[in-house]
Amino acid sequence: MSSAPQPLSVRTAQRSDPDAVAEVCGTAPLARARPRFPLARLRPQSSGRALCCAAVALLTCACIDTGVPTHQGQHTDAGVFQAPLLLATWPADGAAGVPDELPRAWIAIASGGPLQQVRTGWRGPQGAVPHRAEERPCGEMGVEASVCLRLDPLVRLDAGVHQLGLDEGSLDVRGEPIEPTFAEFQVTALPVDPALPSTGECERDEERVAGFCLLRGDDSLRVRAFLTASAIVELGAAGLVTRALAERAEVTLRLPGLDPDTFYSLRVTATGLDGSAHLLETLVRTHPPLMTLTITEVLADPLGPDPAQEYVELLNYGEEPVPLMGLRLADDPSREGDLVTSSLRVPPGGRVLLVSEHFEPDAMEGDAPIPAGLPLVRLAGPIATGGLTNGGEPLFLRDAQNRRLAAVPALGGNPGRCSVRSAPNPRDERPEAFALRQPCTPGRAAEGETW
């Protein structure tokens, strides 16, 4: 049988007909609310699923079936089961002040693969909440997940505690039951605040634009939003759109794929739990082409003398030589950072090490040896504020005009291990763009490096 999803078919059953409910959903309707449950452990899965929503009054259960057969017989997979993770909900777990006229809710599931059947559960103070459930692209919710479901309540919500999540009757790809798990939030009948821009401290190389913090690059725009309430935030320009879920009322969005030195009409939209949307439109200009320098490796906790033997490796990933004079390296987004005074020019594909004034390349004492031809660029004193924190700290590389060239997130590690850039984009600042590795590879491409 092909693993491609089949056309969706929807069947419904009314609460007054328990036999029909059992036929459609495979389980009888639930009679009472359940407490929150831990995550289940299930086996790896293939494609296809059915979607069920537990409800009372209007729809008791609606199943969307993609035609995946139930596996029979003995299981041959003896590996570790994967747990279907309730990755995110909106309203988020622990949220308060959720409006009783909530237009929709969301569930995001990270299951390691498609499920055969998903049964959603929504319970309020008076019992099950009637709702419709529909699988939607996860980009609409603003998350990365295996499955995303939009739930539209069919009644006004009762004030009080609500539970939302995966209910009894959900099945893994082999037809085995998944233990339920729920998020919990508080609904109110009082007016709620819309999601509006709030005050937040912008970083040194960011610009404040109507309550948001904007970081301009030569091929991207990044917005950090601080809001008065939880929201789904959308960032768009030139036909490109990205969304992110701001569960805690703050979020960072990045729009790549833009042209250097070009004006764009930038739109930021924050849609709150009450359904109202706040729109900001402004004209911004990307930077002219920036220097093609990035941070590729950081040794923050050397086996040798610390902080003297720490280093930060820079790579010129471009096609032209790049001068280092005037660069600054900071360990805090608000700091100006250490000034680079070297007149060295880094050739295309070349690497250099930023080191402290007391760095000794022949005294690594168990750390990876420094190639003899690798240039050293010495800073005044130790790197950053008294040396790099052994547990990891962020680093920011800026040019003489205070424009960000690269950044490294704070990654904890052990002595002798390096933070190594592993993502294909040399300007990617996300934690998942880096890995902790030992041995380090100063002056040489690390495993997986593609530039």
Q: Pick from 279, 253, 242, 229: which is nearest to 102 by CA?
A: 229
Question: In percent, how much of the chain has pLDDT > 70?
Answer: 80
Residue 125 has pLDDT above 90, yes or no: yes
What residue ranges of the chain are covered by domains with CATH 2.60.40.1220? 9-188
The reply to whether CATH 3.50.30.30 applies to domain 207-285 is no
Q: What angle do CA 441, 442, 444 make, to 5 degrees?
A: 70
Segment 19-75, tens digit of pLDDT: 443 444 444 333 333 333 333 222 233 333 445 544 333 333 434 333 333 333 333
**Average pLDDT value over all residues in the chain:** 82
Residue 330 has pLDDT above 70, yes or no: yes
Of the listed ranges 134-138, 286-290, 407-411, the one predicted with least confidence? 407-411
Could you tell me the pTM of the whole model?
0.79
Q: Pick from 1, 169, 173, 179: which is nearest to 71 by CA?
A: 173
Residue 255 has pLDDT above 50, yes or no: yes
Cβ-contact 115, 178 below 8 angstroms: yes
Say which residue, 205 or 21, is predicted with more confidence: 205
Winning range, highest mean pLDDT, from 9-13, 341-345, 408-412? 341-345
* Gap between the Cα atoms of 157 and 370, Å rounded: 65
Cβ-contact 46, 188 below 8 angstroms: no
Q: CB 432: neighbour CB atoms within 10 A? A: 9
Radius of gyration of the chain (CA): 26
What residue ranges of the chain are covered by domains with CATH 2.60.40.1260? 290-451
Given this model, what pLDDT does residue 65 score?
Answer: 39
Residue 18 has pLDDT above 80, yes or no: no
The domain made up of 290-451 has a fold known as Immunoglobulin-like (2.60.40)
Segment 361-371, tens digit of pLDDT: 998 888 999 99
Residue 14 has pLDDT above 50, yes or no: no
* Gap between the Cα atoms of 227 and 214, Å rounded: 15
Residue 139 has pLDDT above 70, yes or no: yes
CATH of 9-188 given 1.10.3720.10, 2.60.40.1220, 3.40.190.10, 3.40.50.450: 2.60.40.1220
